[in-house]
Amino acid sequence: MNFWDQNFAGTEYRYGTQPNAYLARQAHRLAPRSTVLVPGDGEGRNGVWLARQGHRVTALDLSSVGLDKARRLAQVQGVAIDTQVADLGQWTPAPASADAVVFVFVHLPPGVREAAHRAAVQALRPGGLLILEAFTPAQLACDSGGPKAPELLYTLDLLRQDWGTALDELHAEETTTTLDEGPGHQGPGQVVHGVWRKRAL
């Protein structure tokens, strides 16, 4: 059993069942019935919420245990989502297949991160949106969750390097937030978040 299968074992939802607050604030930017990919969706809180807003969602995660819980959450909330067990380092979504890609606290090591971000950009249709929130290195001083390995933490400059010239920045910042996401994320947190739009060809 991998780390995330262990993390998601049991009936409790590690990061709660409500959507990430930044995603909820930015979701108004999505066109109705958007096709949305949610890599690293774990137990499904963000993908299920997006489906409740009327979007067509595919949730991806390395953990089959998490995705089982995502499907149960969707059933309880009366929506359907597609789920795929996926290693994001080898993720190959169809080009121009998505209206949006959502990364919420998906922390990947160097090499894997760049590959996953390239795949996400390629998956977006022209005009499609990428929405992301992640912890910055300043989170190492906090006890509200997140990885403790510096190489897994993101900065705005790092993300801008990953996107290159493919995406236009609509909103982005490094900031302090208050996390209330199940037992896994509680208290003040140091994050980077943003919304980017894929440039037209």
- List, for residues 41-100, the tens digit of each pLDDT value: 999 999 999 999 999 999 999 999 999 999 999 999 999 999 999 999 999 999 999 999
Q: Would you place residue 1 in the very low, low, confident or very high pLDDT band (cuts 50, 70, 90)?
A: very low
Token pair belonging to 6: 């262990």
- List, for residues 141-168, the tens digit of each pLDDT value: 999 999 999 999 999 999 999 999 999 9
Q: Output the pLDDT for position 2.
A: 74
- List, for residues 110-128, the tens digit of each pLDDT value: 999 999 999 999 999 999 9
Q: Mean pLDDT throughout 1-22?
A: 85
**Which stretches of the chain are assigned E, i.e. beta strand?**
35-39, 56-61, 82-85, 98-104, 124-135, 167-181, 185-198
Token pair belonging to 90: 């080898």
Average pLDDT of every residue of the chain? 95
- List, for residues 40-52, the tens digit of each pLDDT value: 999 999 999 999 9
Top-confidence residue, 108 or 10: 108
Q: Percent of the chain, pLDDT > 90?
A: 93
Token pair belonging to 25: 């604030």
Label the pairing between strands 185-198 and 167-181.
antiparallel
Top-confidence residue, 105 or 200: 105
Q: What is the pTM of this model?
A: 0.96
- List, for residues 178-187, the tens digit of each pLDDT value: 999 999 999 9
